[in-house]
Structure 1
Amino acid sequence: MLTGIEEVDWASLGHAYGPADDVPELLRGLASGDPAEREAALDGMYGSVHHQGDVYDSTLACIPFLLELVADPGVQERGSLVELLTSIGGIELDDDEELDALDPEDDEFIPAANYAMAAAAIAAGADVFLGLVSDPDPEVRLAAPCALASLHPEPARVLTLLRERLTVERDTEVRLALVAALGRIALRHASLRAETVDWLDWLARAAQDPGLRLAALAQRARCAPGDIPDDVVPWVTGLLEEIRANARQAAVPGGGRTASPTLIGQVRELLEEHAAGRPAPWTEELLRTLHAALDDRVDDRIALILAQLRSPDWGQRSDAIWLCGGLIRVWRGRYEEVVRLVGEQLHDPEPRLREAATTFLERLFELGSPAADALAARLATGPAGGSRAYGRGRTGGPAAPLPYGTALVGPPGPGSADPDADPGSVPDSDPGFGPDADPGPLGPLGRTGGGPSPFVGRSGRDGALLALARAGDPRAVPLLARALEEPEVRRELLYAMDGLGPSASMLAPLLRRRLAEVALDERLYDGAAPLLYALAAVRGSQAVPEVLRVLCGAPENRRDWVREAALRTLAAFGPAAREAVPDIRRLLDADSATVATTAARALWAAEGDLAAALPAVERWLRPGATGADRCAAAQALGEIGPAAASSAAFLRPGLASRDLWVRVRCAAALWRVSGDATEALPVLLAAWEENRHARVDVAECLAEMGPAAKDAQLVILTELTRRRRHNAREGASGSHDIHQDEKLLTLCRAALARMERGGY
């Protein structure tokens, strides 16, 4: 076994962490008789030799040895090795990444060449996978179909083999893998597509097993999305009911392996926990495939989800929540009934279902209002329905995969995960899970990617409170007051206070006390920024002394960030912050544009001193200022408004900037200080078309312009008729994406109404 492994100069090869001289040990570990050693070796292969899907020269050198291990029936858990080879060789280059289109000096040439060589090397030895479709080990049979569909150079031969194997295979999940592989072949090879689609259509109607019929229907839809039957909703719901009736007594037990310190082991344990107690957990992936094929048929997708949410099977209801997470993230639609039914799941005895419902509702903001009563009732009782007050710490059931990614952080802050987004926005991105994500190749656990994230935190009761607060429901206010008395407060709760209206003013004393307790150390920004945001939201001007303590006591680490956050809060307090004026004035000359311009805004709000405020802003609009500095200055002038009309000349050069955000900020500010849309409107409309992330800012300005923005009427109407959310991204989403798109729609409606009636 592993003949010739010592003849390879591994030290001269590399992987993600340097020289590959540790690879022989990893390869030997894959063949070990010790399960823990095998898992550690596989973890090492994914962690370094095939790190994040990359292919290195050491990866190429491993291929012959991996093929040898796969062919040896004495090696245990070969299914995981088949998956590893499928991942290494299954990366298909885009048209613009083809080797012929790349310059050998291009940075992308070597990675592309490695991917191409890996695919060729594995294809040359892919006959080894042919015999694995009948291997005694069901995990090997589970992995083999995708490997053959992705890597074997004779797809017609594979197609015949897999169809023949389906007639004798008895393992349910393997049968589903065979059907999925047939769909993959049809997608990759146009010459075989029509034949395969016809066969899948026959199987979807003729197979005795309802699970097999659902799998065939999902793959048929995937291969021919333009020809999905009109009766797909009743067809699928009928199949799901049949599956539920047949599988009622066949719940999947929990995982039997001991806990593992490896990443692969942790993922495996979480997936086993996710499937535990469910009669047919595999329906989740079939429905995800079907939803991806339905794409913009939003009404059909909502109808399917509603049917699932009414199912007696909690697993189907959990799947529906996850599927709706992917749907609502990308597509606009009528989700009121969906949200109401998801809210009902908060009272289910199954903790994983409650967790899924809570995490889904956290993302909805104003769209979560149909579930507000259920959220309030959930917060009035314990997790299992027993009465209890808002408790200390985090609560919730066993960790479960999130429906569609993990909410990360709150609104304001520096940086952004999207290169086209506003440079002043928050880094708020997470992996894109859901039916609209690319399923991708097989992962390390024998399931396709794009499913729920196994890396989760527990939402618990604070998640329900966050959802209620983000929905703007005043019933959240007393519960937030209780949460503020806890030793730790989830930071998203503090960022959710800006939509609660006047009733949230009662929170100001508690916020003030917590801000007074924040240490003035290197972690000041992390502790103070959410509290400062919340105090600004509730207009807690009695906290001026505590805000000044933070402003004046900021340490060197992230000092400008701290000062900006404190100054924003003082600006929100307006004249009530008059006692802070001396400290604000001292920062007008700061070396940071964000600090100086925010100080000018705070000074204007507190005292109305234009003579001092305007020069502090204008200096950051002069030639030589950076794009970010000019954006900060333009925003400050826009907030000052008509009183800053004398500064209009400083804004006009920004209308011709190469930086889109400078153009947007300067155009919006020019309108706000001058009241003349002649120069600003063309710039704003051009930015609308150039960068979708600018649309919320532009729409806000258009709504202010009213009749002066009549030339934007067609643009607004077009946006309101689009089904896809303006900020939907492939493979990623942010916790505020839905909220931002709904805000855009609200602003567009307001702008259109003002254009039509000539005023507010």
Structure 2
Amino acid sequence: MFDGLHDIDWASMEHAYGSAGEVPALLWALRSPDPEERRKALDRFYGAVHHQGSVYPPTAASLPFLLELAADGATPERAVVVALLVSIGRASLDLGFEDDGTEIEYYPPTGCGQAVAFLRERGGEFVELARDPDPDVRLAAIGGLGLFLDDADRAAEVLRERLAAEHGLAAHLGILEAAATLALRQPSVSPQVTRWLAGLARDAEQGPVTRLAALVQRARCAPDEIGADVVPSAVGLLRETVRAIPVRRIPPSASRPAAPSDGVAPQILAAFEDLDRHTRVSAPTTALLRTFHEALGDRVPERSAVLAAQMSSPDPGSCLDAIRMSGELMRTWRGDHTRLVLLVADQLTTADHEVAAEAAVVLATCHPIATPAREALATHIDAQRAAHGPDVWAASDARLRRSHQEAVRALARLGDARALPSLLAALDNDVDAWRAVEVAGQLPQSADQLVPRLGEHLRRVDLSQQCNEMSANAILSALSTLGDPAVVPVVADTLDAAVRHEQHGVTRSALMTLSAFGPAATGALGTIRSLTGATVRRVRPAAVAALWAVGGDLAEVMPLLLDLLADHITFHIGDAADLLGEIGPPASAALPRLRDLLTHDYEWVRVHCAAALWEIAGPAEASAALDALLQAMTKNPATANHVLTCLDHMGPLAAPALPLLREQLAQPRRGGRFQSIENDEELQRVAHTLIARLA
């Protein structure tokens, strides 16, 4: 066993966390009779040697020994070893090779090429593993037939044989996925595989899930050939799967504490819970349907029809996964999503709190287009308060609590004051108050009730604890948006405390909040002035901006802004340029430097400086500013929101931008800063306005 294992200089190789000297021990542990020892070894292998799907030289060097373990009937849990082999091989192909099969050269080198070469040399062994007496081993090995076997005809023959021999749903899904992978990897066999898949999709003798899988994998092989009949056929098969897949309750997840523990910010705890929640798969067909949506791409109406069928399932897990896919579609692709928003809103009425919560989460993240769901959210919230009382925000049932909180947050993001009672209850009872704080700024019409409570919460934040930074920043952001200067004293106290405890992020947030209050924050000018010379990144420009907003003394601010324009930190240059643009013509002393910065090598600097140049000098600098803006937007479409804001100010002089504006609107994918739905919707709105005005 493991002949030659110790002839390899493992210690000279590195995995994700340093020396790979531990690899031999991990390989031996995978053969241990002790389940706990095997589990720890497998976790460590995935965590370090195959970290997040990476392939290092020691990962590739491990493959002969992993294959030996997989082939040895004495190895416990051989299926997990086979699954590890397939995972390493799939990652090696994805990371190490271009679509045309050319190996990508990395420095330092990865183990991708070595891994693929070895697995293809030994690809025939996956045929035997796919015929193993152990059904779990067979299931794990199926993917290897599509990935590693160079004899394409033999691979196709074995896959057809296995489909006839296997009866499990998971096996059929895996076999047909492997067939499509084989067709994509080996063009010579593609025609026979795609004909086989098309025939299976029409074969009434096959079960509906198998037929659906064949249809989807056929579409995956040739997305450009998806005909008008494919989606209706898929929808029909989805409806038939209701009888083939048993309805199961979504398994409960660990209940989170209502308050933070162990000094960890509650926002961080929640982020990890959300990550765990979104990596779970609740239905056996979810991966298959994701593949179908990927093949359909920008066909928004067709994908919405498929999602409608998914959400009509009586199985809560299928609905849950479909809701998440709906959110991904709306956040990624442009189009009329009204129908999909309403379909997601319909899921609020389900008896399953986790499904209802996920529907609310999607509506919240898609709030710029979620207005059609407003009444459904309000009705859902009122029904919960009527059934469970006014304190349902803090309900002991974790699922009910999350369902209510997420619906309230979604309604608040729509600016609807019917969310207010639950937000006030959260702030008064201090149960998950941070969740209420995050959306409180969306209700300026209720500032008189929210601001005193937020101010009191801010007063209680202990900035000697680093874990409270996120909470302080969120409260300050809400207060800035709500705009009631009554809280200036507590914001000023927070600024002093943040400086004292070197909480630089809170310092910057407090300065930005004081800027929003303008001259009403005059009492904080002393602290603000002291921070205009700060060396901490981004604190200094925030202090200069606050000095201008609160003090309004141009003679005091201009030297500071010119100094920031000369900084090497690009964020400082951009912040200074934005403030100069806000000041406008009185800031003309900055024009020479702004002109020079139009040749800066970073497009974001050029965008901010071009916009400032226009705001200060107007038509005299229109040509230079426009050229810089359009070149930057062409190079980096993420600048589009900033560019279009300036174009909107330029009026008829922005006419040369028309081709680029039309090109932006023709893109099916969302664009703008971070490609977020909020920025993209604003981008589309401004672009349409500009085109109508300039054309």
TM-score computed with the length of structure 1 as normaliser? 0.81
**Could you say which residue in structure 2 is the equivalent of 1:45?**
45
CA spacing shift, 1:727–1:201, aligned 2, 3 Å:
farther
Give the conservation status (yes or no) of the 8 Å contact 1:525–1:558.
Answer: no
**Could you say which residue in structure 1 is the equivalent of 2:584?**
641
**Equivalent residue in structure 2 for 1:116, among 106, 113, 116:** 113
**Could you say which residue in structure 1 is the equivalent of 2:520?**
576
Matched, 1:367 2:365: no
Residue identity in the other structure for 1:129: F
Matched, 1:125 2:128: no
| Larger RCO of the pair (alpha carbons < 8 Å, separation 6+) | 1
Give the conservation status (yes or no) of the 8 Å contact 2:428–2:453.
Answer: yes
Matches of 1:600 and 1:20 in 2, distance apart? Answer: 51
**Could you say which residue in structure 1 is the equivalent of 2:264?**
none
Which of 671-680 and 374-383 deviates more? 374-383
Matches of 1:596 and 1:716 in 2, distance apart? Answer: 35
Matches of 2:411 and 2:29 in 1, distance apart? Answer: 50
Residue identity in the other structure for 1:237: V
Give the conservation status (yes or no) of the 8 Å contact 2:360–2:407.
Answer: yes
Which of 18-27 and 202-211 deviates more? 18-27
Cα drift, residue 514 of structure 1: 1.3
Matched, 1:500 2:443: yes
Give SS of 2:528's match.
helix
CA spacing shift, 1:291–1:101, aligned 2, 3 Å:
closer
Give the conservation status (yes or no) of the 8 Å contact 2:580–2:616.
Answer: yes
Matches of 1:51 and 1:57 in 2, distance apart? Answer: 12
Cα drift, residue 140 of structure 1: 1.3
CA spacing shift, 1:501–1:708, aligned 2, 3 Å:
farther
Matched, 1:675 2:672: no
Cα drift, residue 540 of structure 1: 2.1
Residue identity in the other structure for 2:370: G
Give SS of 1:75's match.
coil
Runs (4 or more) in structure 1 with deviation over 6 Å come to: 96-101, 252-255, 269-273
Which of 164-173 and 595-604 deviates more? 595-604
**Could you say which residue in structure 2 is the equivalent of 1:474?**
417
Cα drift, residue 386 of structure 1: 3.6
CA spacing shift, 1:499–1:710, aligned 2, 3 Å:
farther
Q: How does 1:386-397 map to 2 (within 5 A)?
A: 386-392=388-394, 396-397=398-399
* Per-residue Cα deviation, 1:75-105 (whole angstroms, up to 9, x for no partner): 3322211111112223122349988774xxx
Matches of 2:599 and 2:396 in 1, distance apart? Answer: 51
Give the conservation status (yes or no) of the 8 Å contact 1:593–1:632.
Answer: no
**Equivalent residue in structure 1 for 2:637, among 692, 709, 718:** 692
**Could you say which residue in structure 1 is the equivalent of 2:160?**
163
Which of 121-130 and 87-96 deviates more? 87-96
**Could you say which residue in structure 1 is the equivalent of 2:679?**
740
**Equivalent residue in structure 2 for 1:152, among 149, 152, 164:** 149
**Equivalent residue in structure 1 for 2:496, among 546, 552, 555:** 552
**Could you say which residue in structure 1 is the equivalent of 2:669?**
724
**Could you say which residue in structure 2 is the equivalent of 1:239?**
237
**Equivalent residue in structure 1 for 2:689, among 750, 754, 757:** 750
Matched, 1:141 2:85: no
**Could you say which residue in structure 2 is the equivalent of 1:661?**
604
**Could you say which residue in structure 1 is the equivalent of 2:217?**
219
Q: How does 1:27-38 map to 2 (within 5 A)?
A: 27-38=27-38
* Per-residue Cα deviation, 1:410-450 (whole angstroms, up to 9, x for no partner): xxxxxxxxxxxxxxxxxxxxxxxxxxxxxxxxxxxxxxxxx
Cα drift, residue 479 of structure 1: 3.0
**Equivalent residue in structure 2 for 1:324, among 323, 326, 342:** 326
Q: Percent identity?
A: 38
Matches of 1:25 and 1:234 in 2, distance apart? Answer: 54
**Could you say which residue in structure 2 is the equivalent of 1:210?**
208
Matched, 1:618 2:562: yes
Cα drift, residue 738 of structure 1: 1.4
CA spacing shift, 1:607–1:193, aligned 2, 3 Å:
same
Give the conservation status (yes or no) of the 8 Å contact 1:699–1:744.
Answer: yes
Matches of 1:13 and 1:540 in 2, distance apart? Answer: 60
Q: How does 1:319-468 map to 2 (within 5 A)?
A: 319-382=321-384, 386-392=388-394, 396-397=398-399, 459-468=402-411
Alignment size in residue pairs: 667
Give the conservation status (yes or no) of the 8 Å contact 1:49–1:55.
Answer: yes
Cα drift, residue 741 of structure 1: 1.2
CA spacing shift, 1:274–1:6, aligned 2, 3 Å:
same
**Could you say which residue in structure 2 is the equivalent of 1:532?**
476
Residue identity in the other structure for 2:47: G
Matches of 2:147 and 2:386 in 1, distance apart? Answer: 46
Give the conservation status (yes or no) of the 8 Å contact 1:601–1:639.
Answer: no
Give SS of 2:165's match.
coil
Matches of 2:296 and 2:100 in 1, distance apart? Answer: 29
Residue identity in the other structure for 1:231: D
Cα drift, residue 247 of structure 1: 3.4
Which of 475-484 and 696-705 deviates more? 475-484
Give the conservation status (yes or no) of the 8 Å contact 1:254–1:273.
Answer: no
TM-score computed with the length of structure 2 as normaliser? 0.88
**Could you say which residue in structure 2 is the equivalent of 1:301?**
303
Give the conservation status (yes or no) of the 8 Å contact 2:79–2:140.
Answer: yes
Give SS of 1:349's match.
coil
Matched, 1:632 2:572: no
CA spacing shift, 1:631–1:12, aligned 2, 3 Å:
closer
Cα drift, residue 670 of structure 1: 1.6
Matches of 2:373 and 2:89 in 1, distance apart? Answer: 46
CA spacing shift, 1:210–1:164, aligned 2, 3 Å:
same
Matches of 1:714 and 1:14 in 2, distance apart? Answer: 51
CA spacing shift, 1:8–1:144, aligned 2, 3 Å:
same
**Could you say which residue in structure 2 is the equivalent of 1:67?**
67
* Per-residue Cα deviation, 1:197-239 (whole angstroms, up to 9, x for no partner): 1111111101421111101000000001111120223211211
Cα drift, residue 271 of structure 1: 10
Give the conservation status (yes or no) of the 8 Å contact 2:194–2:221.
Answer: yes
Cα drift, residue 348 of structure 1: 1.1
Cα drift, residue 165 of structure 1: 2.0
Give the conservation status (yes or no) of the 8 Å contact 2:308–2:340.
Answer: yes
Matched, 1:88 2:27: no
CA spacing shift, 1:468–1:195, aligned 2, 3 Å:
same
* Per-residue Cα deviation, 1:383-410 (whole angstroms, up to 9, x for no partner): 9954443433886439xxxxxxxxxxxx
Residue identity in the other structure for 2:348: L
Give the conservation status (yes or no) of the 8 Å contact 1:32–1:38.
Answer: yes
Give the conservation status (yes or no) of the 8 Å contact 1:631–1:662.
Answer: yes
Cα drift, residue 702 of structure 1: 1.6
Cα drift, residue 706 of structure 1: 2.5
* Per-residue Cα deviation, 1:287-306 (whole angstroms, up to 9, x for no partner): 11111111121111112212
CA spacing shift, 1:515–1:669, aligned 2, 3 Å:
same
Matched, 1:179 2:187: no
CA spacing shift, 1:96–1:629, aligned 2, 3 Å:
farther
Higher-helix-fraction structure: 2
CA spacing shift, 1:490–1:76, aligned 2, 3 Å:
farther
**Could you say which residue in structure 1 is the equivalent of 2:270?**
none
Matched, 1:564 2:491: no
Residue identity in the other structure for 2:492: L
CA spacing shift, 1:271–1:79, aligned 2, 3 Å:
farther
Give SS of 2:336's match.
coil
* Per-residue Cα deviation, 1:654-679 (whole angstroms, up to 9, x for no partner): 11211211111111112222333333
Matches of 1:654 and 1:569 in 2, distance apart? Answer: 29
Matches of 2:240 and 2:104 in 1, distance apart? Answer: 51
Residue identity in the other structure for 1:94: F
**Could you say which residue in structure 2 is the equivalent of 1:193?**
190
Give the conservation status (yes or no) of the 8 Å contact 1:146–1:177.
Answer: yes
